[in-house]
Amino acid sequence: MSRRTPTGEEPTVAFITNVPLERQREVLQHRLRGLARVVRVPSLAEAPDAVACVLEPDVVLRRDDLRQAPDLRWVGVPSVALDNIDLPAARALGIEVFNTPGANRWEAADHTLALVLAVLRDLPGGVRTVGEDAFDITRTHPLRIRGARLGLIGFGAVGRLVAEQALALGMSVRVHNRSGVPAVFAGRVEIATDLPALLGWADVVSVHVQLTPATRGLVGEQELQEMRPGARLVNTARAGVVSQPALLAALDSGHLTCAGLDVLDTGQEEMMRALVTHPRTIATPHMAWYSPESAVGLYEFTGGRIAERMREAGTPPQTERRTRRGAGHDGR
């Protein structure tokens, strides 16, 4: 049975995105059939009556944005990270925020491994040499995959899958993780007691931690200098974990052979462009999460979670929300 607002309309769920993801909107609407109507909008201000929203990872919601929808109760982000929403503000406003942990872990692990292999074999150097019509293999610096040393910073769902794949290729794996490693990896991977013990050992370092105040700039100038001369770096996690200026300097100096990046700081346009076009980098457009399966699955999960919450709420969410906030729309 459809749940109606006092005006007789279905509640609104805002799908906030800057790109025309109509297929994803249809998936959300299917999961919310009979419960709400899903509207695709570029900002929450364009759906002030929304009781829930699905927020694309590249769209930011701050406190003032959240206040644009007084009836908002749930925010779903089809991603692992939640650094694009003001979580303290959401909690203060009584808004539940949830993500989709593990839903795209296979895609992210596959893409990470692809970049790891690309930088170990120095594909940026090979492409650069061919582009210069040199065809001189002595200007490239590829390593043998079997026996190569892979260092993982963080060991969540994606990091563990990358480790499994790397071990299957005959690589050695060392992990730095605050909570240790699962028992299934005992004797299969090495544990670095601190970050320098990993950085100075690895041929390639791959980042697998979320962006938090504690991890912002975790890999900075000092950490990059602690990496082995000629080492390589891969980041498919969050751009802010690695200092972009320090990474650029390490590439310019040749201390790092190359880097594979799927995340870049779009707020620093000049720096981002310098890294994307650098002859020692291979960069992809934040596509590590993406495949035909994940492009649908993430939204099925998010839509299903919102539907579950709406059914649990029972009464039309907007009516209850106005009661809990007191003033309703007129008191914004």
Q: Looking at residue 323, what is its pLDDT?
A: 40
Mean pLDDT (10-residue bins), the chain, 332 residues: 56 95 95 97 96 93 95 94 92 95 91 98 95 90 98 96 98 96 96 97 97 94 98 96 97 98 91 96 94 92 96 67 37 28
Half-sphere exposure of 114 (CA within 13 A, CB side): 15
Half-sphere exposure of 276 (CA within 13 A, CB side): 15
Return d(Cα 15, Cα 42) in angstroms, integer: 8
Going by C-beta distance under 8 Å and a sequence separation of 6 or more, which residues neighbour residue 119? 204, 232, 233, 234, 257, 258, 259, 260, 282
Sheet containing 281-283: give its strands across: 190-191, 172-176, 149-153, 204-207, 231-235, 256-261, 281-283
Residues 298, 87: Cα–Cα separation, whole Å: 21
The overall longest dimension of the chain from CA atoms, in Å, is 74
Q: State which H helix or E strand residue 13 sits in.
A: strand 12-16
Residue-level pLDDT at 201:
98
pLDDT the model gives residue 314: 82
Sign of the CA dihedral running 298, 301, 303, 305: negative
User: Which domains occur in the chain, in start order?
Assistant: 12-102+291-331 (3.40.50.720), 105-283 (3.40.50.720)
pLDDT on residue 9:
79
Among residues 271, 289, 283, the alpha carbon closest in space to that of 233 is found at: 283
Residue whose pair of structure tokens reads 């790092």 in the numeric block: 256
At a CB cut-off of 8 Å and minimum separation 6, what does 194 contact? 176
Q: Three-class SS of residue 181?
A: coil
Whole-structure pTM value = 0.83
In eight-state DSSP terms, residue 9 is P
pLDDT at 202: 98
SS3 15: strand
Three-state DSSP string of 201-231 = CCCEEEECCCCCCCCCCCECHHHHHHCCCCE
Burial class (CB within 10 angstroms; exposed 0-12, middle 13-18, buried 19+) of 128: middle
Q: Quote the pLDDT of residue 331.
A: 31
| pLDDT of res. 315 | 55
Note the pLDDT of residue 328.
34
pLDDT recorded at residue 119: 98
Tell which residue, 282, 153, 281, has the closest CA to residue 207: 153
DSSP output for 44-104: GGG-TTEEEEEE-TTS-B-HHHHTT-TT--EEE-SSS--TTB-HHHHHHTT-EEE--TTTT
